[in-house]
Amino acid sequence: MQEILSQYGLEIVVGMIVGVLSVLLWRVVSYRFRNDK
């Protein structure tokens, strides 16, 4: 039971980190494209 919760929590943390990084990367890319144009 505890192992399942630990694995599930780890997946949530990894998912959140990946989501935040992807959003930040998308903002940087879109910001640069706006400046280029």
Q: Please give the pLDDT value at position 26.
A: 96
Tell me, what's the pLDDT at 7? 77
Measured CA to CA, the distance from residue 15 to residue 12 in angstroms comes to: 5
Q: Which tens digit of pLDDT belongs to each residue from 1-37?
A: 567 667 788 899 999 999 999 999 999 999 998 887 6
pLDDT at 1: 59
For residue 32 the two structure tokens come to: 């640069």
Amino acid identity of residue 27, one-letter, is R
β strands within 1-37, DSSP E: none
pTM: 0.57
